[in-house]
Amino acid sequence: MTPASLIRILLVDDHAIVREGYRALLAKQPDLEVVAEAAEGAQAYRQFKQCTPDLVITDLSLPGAGGLELIRRIKQRCAEAKILVFSMHQNPGFAVQAGRAGALGYVTKSSPPEMLLRAIRDVHAGRPVLSPDIAQALALEKLGGSHLALESLTIREFEILRLLVEARTPDDIARTLNISPKTVCNCHYLIKRKLGVASDIELTRLAIRLNVIDLLELSGDGGSVTTTAR
């Protein structure tokens, strides 16, 4: 019989070696157990339905429909689901979007292991959590009066932006997110208007500046940064 105090975890990250490291860390904790793993969103959603974990730990950068879409789908299926984002992205705009999607915590991968373990228990208990670097970045943004450009986007628009700057076609994006190509094109227009850019080149430059993507990710995919929706 599973102890009542045991926190059953679904771990989602597209790098197997990274998952192995997390699993080893969590295995040392008597109250934590990884009951399922996934490398991408669709697989993670299936595992969530099958295993009904107490907590989901997910990265945002996942193949296909990203982590934000996964969070949205999980929360749509189970409003009480507890979700912690564990991500390399240190831009506070990502934390804002993750919170909108339904995540209760956001911890960066540069945080010490103790921060992750504390965040797991806090989120499971229903307490919101931000790692100190993200909390500080959010505070500085507000104190400085600067506008979080990414905050103006909806969750769906944010995911479409991420896929657009990966050089994905509107048809491909539509299939990935289960929406129509027309919706993708309309969102593409709205994204550019909200972010104050006139062209796809400007949009890509802004995405790089806001750390939505970086040049290493783009070169690693081996593709050019070209979008076809207008």
pLDDT digits (tens, 9 = 90+) for 15-24: 999 899 999 9
Averaged pLDDT for residues 146-161? 76
Query: Which H helix or E strand runs over 152?
Result: none
How confident is the model at residue 1, as a pLDDT?
39
Which pLDDT score, from 0 to 100, does residue 149 have? 65
pLDDT surpassing 60 at residue 143: no
Indicate the pLDDT class of residue 3, thresholds 50, 70 and 90: low
The residues near 223 (Cβ < 8 Å, ≥ 6 apart) are 166, 167
Tokens, residue 182: 């027309």
pLDDT-derived band at 202, boundaries 50, 70, 90: confident
For the segment 175-189, the average pLDDT, to the nearest whole number, is: 92
**What pLDDT does 219 receive?**
40
Instruction: Return the pLDDT at 13.
Output: 94
More confident residue, 142 or 10: 10
User: Shortest CA distance to 59 belongs to which of 108, 5, 99, 21?
Assistant: 108
Exposure letters 49-67 (e unless 16+ CB within 10 A, then b): eeeebbbbbbbbbbebbbb
d(CA 171, CA 182): 9
Rounded CA separation 55/139 (Å): 27
Does 226 or 88 have the greater pLDDT score?
Answer: 88
Q: How far apart are CA 11 and CA 86, in angstroms?
A: 10
Flag whether pLDDT at 209 surpasses 80. Answer: no
> Is a pLDDT exceeding 60 seen at residue 47?
yes
Q: What is the pLDDT of residue 141?
A: 61
Q: What is the pLDDT of residue 97?
A: 87
Average pLDDT over residues 44-50: 96
Mean pLDDT of 104-120: 94
Average pLDDT over residues 171-189: 92
Strand positions, DSSP E, the chain: 7-12, 32-38, 55-58, 83-87, 105-108, 129-130
Give the lowest-confidence range in 117-126, 163-172, 219-228.
219-228
What domains can be seen in the chain, in order of their start residue?
7-143 (3.40.50.2300), 149-221 (1.10.10.10)
Of 225 and 114, the one with more pLDDT: 114
Cut 0.85: pTM above it? no
Question: Residues near 18 by Cβ (< 8 Å), separated by ≥ 6?
Answer: none
Percent of the residues in the chain that have a pLDDT greater than 90, as a whole number: 53
